[in-house]
Amino acid sequence: MAHAQNKAADDLLDKEFRVLDHGFVRLIDYMGSDQAIAQSARVSYGEGTKKVSEDRALIRYLMRHRHTSPFEMVEFKFHVKLPIFVARQWIRHRSASVNEYSGRYSIMREEFYRPEPEDIRFQSEVNKQGRSEQEVPDEMRERFLGHLEASQRGQYEEYHRFVEEGLARELARINLPLSLYTEWYWKIDLHNLFHFLRLRLDSHAQKEIRIYAGLMADMVKTVCPIAYEAFEDYILNAHTFSALEMAVLAEHLRGLKIDNEALLKHGLSRREAEKFLARLRAITNTTQDDD
Amino acid sequence: MAHAQNKAADDLLDKEFRVLDHGFVRLIDYMGSDQAIAQSARVSYGEGTKKVSEDRALIRYLMRHRHTSPFEMVEFKFHVKLPIFVARQWIRHRSASVNEYSGRYSIMREEFYRPEPEDIRFQSEVNKQGRSEQEVPDEMRERFLGHLEASQRGQYEEYHRFVEEGLARELARINLPLSLYTEWYWKIDLHNLFHFLRLRLDSHAQKEIRIYAGLMADMVKTVCPIAYEAFEDYILNAHTFSALEMAVLAEHLRGLKIDNEALLKHGLSRREAEKFLARLRAITNTTQDDD
Amino acid sequence: MAHAQNKAADDLLDKEFRVLDHGFVRLIDYMGSDQAIAQSARVSYGEGTKKVSEDRALIRYLMRHRHTSPFEMVEFKFHVKLPIFVARQWIRHRSASVNEYSGRYSIMREEFYRPEPEDIRFQSEVNKQGRSEQEVPDEMRERFLGHLEASQRGQYEEYHRFVEEGLARELARINLPLSLYTEWYWKIDLHNLFHFLRLRLDSHAQKEIRIYAGLMADMVKTVCPIAYEAFEDYILNAHTFSALEMAVLAEHLRGLKIDNEALLKHGLSRREAEKFLARLRAITNTTQDDD
Amino acid sequence: MAHAQNKAADDLLDKEFRVLDHGFVRLIDYMGSDQAIAQSARVSYGEGTKKVSEDRALIRYLMRHRHTSPFEMVEFKFHVKLPIFVARQWIRHRSASVNEYSGRYSIMREEFYRPEPEDIRFQSEVNKQGRSEQEVPDEMRERFLGHLEASQRGQYEEYHRFVEEGLARELARINLPLSLYTEWYWKIDLHNLFHFLRLRLDSHAQKEIRIYAGLMADMVKTVCPIAYEAFEDYILNAHTFSALEMAVLAEHLRGLKIDNEALLKHGLSRREAEKFLARLRAITNTTQDDD
């Protein structure tokens, strides 16, 4: 294109990065860059601002204030191979385009997911939808892996036999397990990809999808390093406190003295620091009035 | 609500209509009616038209001219129980809201789809993604059903045992087959539901999803009979001919005389008939000029 | 419908609530309730939970954890009359359905927005896109209102004359000002409506759209009081601190002792309180490790 | 990128193509190509098909069968300058990303649309929302243009004066006319762009937006010539007949003999021709049964 080249990003293109036992993520194409985000934001502010703000400050400002449309201007297209139970979580993100391998049209390949032994865990007591930290005894772990292997092989043999005998593929495949691998092309804009990453990098996401998200996060970081850093600082690693929690905290923050050194040390820009201190003052005062 | 009651539609609410061996569709709620479609269209045309056009003519006009937004003003909320391989096709429709039963959070029930014997068919030679008209021999059919039953029972027993032993549910379930039933709440507006129905009532859709679509079409017909009839006349049973096909047809339609009786007999309104004849004239002339 | 009646909500239906000088908001219809949100969430968790959690706790849990799909299950349909410059901000919310009065089809009415004298303010120095607190001198205020009135009347007269002379409406209207009123039907689900409200109730939103948002917020509160309260506590009045800000705060929160009384006083549930304390511990420890 | 270069497409980048008196369209960036459409479609069909079908046949097949997702894999990003009344029609297409110049933040430039004299027409009698073929008398035309010029200049002078005096920009601009130019970045995928083009190239669209659509259609043709040709043959220039119309036509098509020569002459592929003849047979038979 007519734009600045990003050599590191272009080097990612078309390479298969392995995930799990048979999966991969491959960056097929992308459109845009940090520069393109800033450029499209500037159309809102008119010519004048072009000289004043530089890209990094502008991108961080956009992220901080949740001005999401400039991030929608960047696109990523991935080729992903993944187990069906992961695909079922992934597809819940509707603001993306998908082209999936069709089990009605084509013959499924004999590739199934089996977890690494150390990933086989007990049900978490705390997190009703997750696995616990606690490892499973060797015997149980081997039994589970043995069951997976035997039944995956058995299911596939039956599938393959019926397909060979001419049974409709759309029927033969209905008993294949959710651990079967599928693949798709998946295209999404950067704003929606950040949303996907925020949910799927989270410790509550199932580990298997988290690994895909982690790999894709690295790719985004290469294509748009400044936007990714802003995403980390203002979204991923930000903390939100409810009105109730703030009421509790406010009592402890009242009269708090924050020196400039601390603000500088942690990298707040001058303007950010001012707004932060103003917010703290507002929070503590508001609560004072309530009492 | 403050609107005219539709007794037949309200009678549908909350009833389970069975689909396949263990599935169902249940209409949980709906918003709107034929009258509401017409009413929201009229805001575009201003007060004056209210007396002139009556609802049916207006709704048919909107459908004919693909004015889709008034149909978006009507909503349907269904509770559906369906095999996972059907759910995977269904979820491709992104303009809908979904709340699905979670196999990470809850224990899957022992309910699997097994086709009716007469639905077990050979792969179609013509339609690469479908099944043929040709029935499968009894022996093969029984063998397939036997395989499904045995492996579904076997898979579920293993699943259940591991869950009982405390294995994380999100892992234990990964080997359950695509024939397992899941359920969800699914909400969609009428415009997007018509799009879903057009694709899923089509003879190329997999038979299992077609049955769900057929049942939902009946429900729509009860809630919005006029809109549904217009959908049938102008979308579902319409025929589209490519520019290439029209060029071929035009040669045969040139000089065609269509009498008013035929137009009346097939139910075209006066205005539709005029436009139809004008189009035919334009089509045949255009091609003449091309030659 | 077959569901519990909400008398207060039904009393809102079809009534025009005035906004600005000629605008209004009218709730045409809605689908769902607090009860419906809880009900659709429960499909994810299976039957078992029905008895345990009660609606309010569940709805607050969903909002706290950004489980958005149950809120998508509720719909609102409004009839709104509003100046075009407000409509242009409003329409930026794409996850909604719209049917607008057409200036190509119909004759625009002679209705224009003129601000209340006290709303005519100087440009803000602080907020580059807003108005300041500072009032404008009487003379300037009157001059502005006089200009609006004269030019609105003049523009409309010219428009009307050309339309009367038979000029195409789609051309005659191109010189009408952005202060002209238009109207539309606007339908949106509760999740996206909350997003709209969060942005449009914000002090940075233009005052004219904020007034519409405020009125609609009251309607939502009547239809789904529990969900609205949760929205206020966990979204609207929540505070988000960036990673940089948290690093600064963490130094001050380290070693903080929060007693149960404070947590109770501010209304945190037992589970919320536990999670809150655990987060504070994690925040302060993380930073400690970083140093 | 790592993909085949399209020299003609890259030559379009960043150039302003003038539209109307002050508007333009500028292609900022694009992602994908005909080749990329075919490549993403092939993931559905598996490896085997790669050798068999070639790109053109595959793309035409996808368009013919409304397999839309491969077309979603291509993106276009435009910079557009356009009058606000055109922008208001344009923004109705919700499946796009937009960044618009902000009249709250920045000062609007003195640029207004005035139609070419020959475009000033009477209201159409036939098309209630369009202009007629009939030209307007010179005197009226000049009067209209004179009115536009005088009032645009007058409105801008007032706007400018109030902004200079420090009035909030968000207020000062509310009386500027719909003929004022704005500009935006607009990004959309090819499937949705085809939908936009189909509606906005149509003779019922307002002429001013049609000119923009025409220019963008040319750009698409340069970037994806095969997909664009397929769009013309199977969508833009296709004809759809309602069930009622088909019933009338069927009587005349019964017994129709179409020779291979005609099919070949008009460019139908062998497979298309077969399907076309089969459809005609089905259409005529169906109707026969009905009678």
Residue B164 has pLDDT above 70, yes or no: yes
- Alpha carbon D55 to chain centroid, angstroms: 24
Residue B286 has pLDDT above 90, yes or no: no
Residue B254 has pLDDT above 80, yes or no: no
Q: Which of D239, D266, D272 sits opposite B240 (nearest CB)?
A: D239
Which residue shows structure tokens 């006089």? C146
CB contact under 8 A, A136 and B167: yes
Distance from D37 to chain A by nearest Cα, in Å? 10
Residue C2 has pLDDT above 50, yes or no: no
D124 lies within 8 A of chain C by CB: yes
Residue A289 has pLDDT above 50, yes or no: no
Q: Which of A239, A243, A244 sits opposite C240 (nearest CB)?
A: A239
Catalytic residues of B: 200
Residue type, A97: S
Percent of chain D with pLDDT over 70: 94
Which residues in chain A are contacts of D32 at CB distance < 8 A? 29, 77
Among the listed residues C200, C270, C279, C281, the single catalytic one is C200
If 0-12 CB within 10 Å is exposed, 13-18 middle and 19+ buried, where does residue D229 land? middle
* Cα–Cα dist A85/A87, whole Å: 5
Which residue out of D29, D59, D106 would a mutagenesis test of the A interface target, given it has the greatest number of A Cβ atoms within 10 Å?
D29
CB contact under 8 A, D266 and B248: yes
- As given in the structure block, the two tokens for residue B208 are 């299992």
Distance from C177 to chain D by nearest Cα, in Å? 4
What is the chain C residue with the closest CA to B190? C97
- Alpha carbon D249 to chain centroid, angstroms: 30
Q: Report pLDDT digits (tens) over A159-182.
A: 999 999 999 999 999 999 999 999
pLDDT of residue B47: 60
Q: What is the mean pLDDT of residues A55-79?
A: 96
Which ranges of C21-173 would DSSP assign to H, the alpha helix?
34-45, 49-52, 55-64, 69-72, 84-90, 138-164, 169-172
| D288 vs D171, residue with greater confidence | D171
Q: What is the 3-state secondary structure (H, E, C) of chain D?
A: CCCCCCHHHHHHCCCEEEECCCEEEEEEEEECCHHHHHHHHHHHHCCCHHHHCCHHHHHHHHHHCCCCHHHHCCEEEEEEEEEHHHHHHHCCCCCCEEEECCCCCCCCCCCECCCCHHHCEEECCCCCCCEEEEECCHHHHHHHHHHHHHHHHHHHHHHHHHHHCCECHHHHHHHCECCEEEEEEEEEEHHHHHHHHHHHCCCCCCHHHHHHHHHHHHHHHHHCHHHHHHHHHHHHCCEEECHHHHHHHHHHHCCCCCCHHHHHHCCCCHHHHHHHHHHHHHHHHHHHHHC
If 0-12 CB within 10 Å is exposed, 13-18 middle and 19+ buried, where does residue A199 land? middle
Q: How confident is the model at residue B78 (pLDDT cuts 50, 70, 90)?
A: very high
CATH class given for the domain over B7-113+179-236: alpha beta
Q: Name the 3-class secondary structure at A138.
A: helix
Residue type, B212: Y
Which residues in chain C are contacts of A279 at CB distance < 8 A? 239
Q: Report pLDDT digits (tens) over C118-175.
A: 999 999 988 888 899 888 999 999 999 999 999 999 999 999 999 999 999 999 999 9
Q: How confident is the model at residue D222 (pLDDT cuts 50, 70, 90)?
A: very high
Residues facing residue D29 across a β-bridge: D77
A189 lies within 8 A of chain D by CB: yes
CB contact under 8 A, D69 and A99: yes
pLDDT of residue C251: 80
Distance from C110 to chain A by nearest Cα, in Å? 31
Which residues in chain A are contacts of B141 at CB distance < 8 A? none
* Cα–Cα dist B36/B223, whole Å: 11
Residue type, B74: V
Q: How confident is the model at residue D127 (pLDDT cuts 50, 70, 90)?
A: confident
Report how many Cβ contacts below 8 Å link chain A to chain C: 90
D7 lies within 8 A of chain A by CB: no
Neighbours of chain A (3+ CB pairs under 8 A): B, C, D
Range with lowest mean pLDDT among A16-20, C46-50, D167-171? C46-50
Residue D278 has pLDDT above 90, yes or no: no
Q: Report pLDDT digits (tens) over D42-60.
A: 998 876 455 445 899 999 9
Which residues in chain B are contacts of D237 at CB distance < 8 A? 242-243, 246
* Cα–Cα dist D9/D26, whole Å: 12
Q: Report pLDDT digits (tens) over C179-227.
A: 999 999 999 999 999 999 999 999 999 999 999 999 999 999 999 999 9
pTM reported for the whole predicted model: 0.94
What mean pLDDT value characterizes chain C? Answer: 91
Which residues in chain D are contacts of C104 at CB distance < 8 A? 129-130, 206
* Cα–Cα dist C218/C15, whole Å: 14
Torsion sign over Cα D250, D254, D257, D260: positive
* Cα–Cα dist D195/D212, whole Å: 14
pLDDT of residue C53: 53
Domain definitions of chain B by residue range: 7-113+179-236, 243-290
CB contact under 8 A, C178 and D179: no
Q: Radius of gyration over alpha carbons of chain D, in Å?
A: 24
Which residues in chain D are contacts of A30 at CB distance < 8 A? 1, 31
| CATH number of this structure's domain D7-113+180-236 | 3.30.1360.170
Q: Name the 3-class secondary structure at A25.
A: strand
pLDDT of residue C232: 97
Helix (H) or strand (E) holding A132: strand A131-135
Neighbours of chain C (3+ CB pairs under 8 A): A, B, D
Percent of chain B with pLDDT over 70: 94
Residue D220 has pLDDT above 50, yes or no: yes
Which residue out of A229, A242, A253 would a mutagenesis test of the C interface target, given it has the greatest number of C Cβ atoms within 10 Å?
A242
C153 lies within 8 A of chain D by CB: no
* Cα–Cα dist A234/A231, whole Å: 5
B94 lies within 8 A of chain D by CB: no
Which residue out of D132, D170, D176, D183 would a mutagenesis test of the C interface target, given it has the greatest number of C Cβ atoms within 10 Å?
D170
- As given in the structure block, the two tokens for residue A148 are 């997976």
3-class SS shares of chain B: helix, strand, coil, % to 5: 55, 15, 30
D165 lies within 8 A of chain C by CB: yes
Q: Which of D91, D120, D171 sits opposite C120 (nearest CB)?
A: D171
Is residue D94 part of the annotated active site? The answer reads: no
What is the chain C residue with the closest CA to B77? C73
Which residue out of A43, A104, A186, A192 would a mutagenesis test of the D interface target, given it has the greatest number of D Cβ atoms within 10 Å?
A43
Range with lowest mean pLDDT among B27-36, B50-59, D252-261? B50-59
Distance from A101 to chain D by nearest Cα, in Å? 4
Q: Which of C232, C242, C251 sits opposite A64 (nearest CB)?
A: C242
* Cα–Cα dist B54/B59, whole Å: 9
What mean pLDDT value characterizes chain A? Answer: 91
Residues facing residue A76 across a β-bridge: A30, A188
* Measured distance between the N- and C-terminal CA atoms of chain A, rounded to whole angstroms: 60
Phi-psi region of A215 (alpha: psi -120 to 50; beta: other; left: phi over 0): alpha
D91 lies within 8 A of chain A by CB: no
Which residue shows structure tokens 């297209």? A77
* Cα–Cα dist A231/C111, whole Å: 45
Q: What is the mean pLDDT of residues A142-155?
A: 96
Q: What is the mean pLDDT of residues C261-269?
A: 87
Longest dimension (CA), chain C: 79
Which residues in chain B are contacts of A175 at CB distance < 8 A? 147-148, 151-152, 177-179
Q: Are B266 and D249 in contact (CB under 8 A)?
A: no
Which residues in chain A are contacts of D33 at CB distance < 8 A? none
Q: Which positions ≥6 away from A216 have C-beta within 8 Å?
A: A25, A76, A78, A193, A197
Which residue out of B3, B13, B44, B62 would a mutagenesis test of the C interface target, given it has the greatest number of C Cβ atoms within 10 Å?
B44
pLDDT of residue D290: 36
CB contact under 8 A, C29 and B32: yes
* Cα–Cα dist B212/B219, whole Å: 11
Q: What is the 3-state secondary structure (H, E, C) of B88-135?
A: HHHCCCCCCEEEECCCCCCCCCCCECCCCHHHCEEECCCCCCCEEEEE
B145 lies within 8 A of chain A by CB: no
- List all residues of chain D from 236 to 255 with a beta carbon under 8 Å from chain B: 236-249, 251-253
Residue B2 has pLDDT above 90, yes or no: no
Residue D117 has pLDDT above 80, yes or no: yes
Q: Are B172 and A151 in contact (CB under 8 A)?
A: no
Rounded to 10 deg, the angle between the D243-253 and B243-253 helix axes is 50
Q: Which of A105, A173, A178 sits opposite B174 (nearest CB)?
A: A178
CB contact under 8 A, D256 and B256: no
Q: Which of A242, A256, A258 sits opposite C233 (nearest CB)?
A: A242
Q: How confident is the model at residue C257 (pLDDT cuts 50, 70, 90)?
A: confident
Which residues in chain B are contacts of D243 at CB distance < 8 A? 232-234, 236-238
Residue B4 has pLDDT above 80, yes or no: no
CB contact under 8 A, A46 and D106: yes
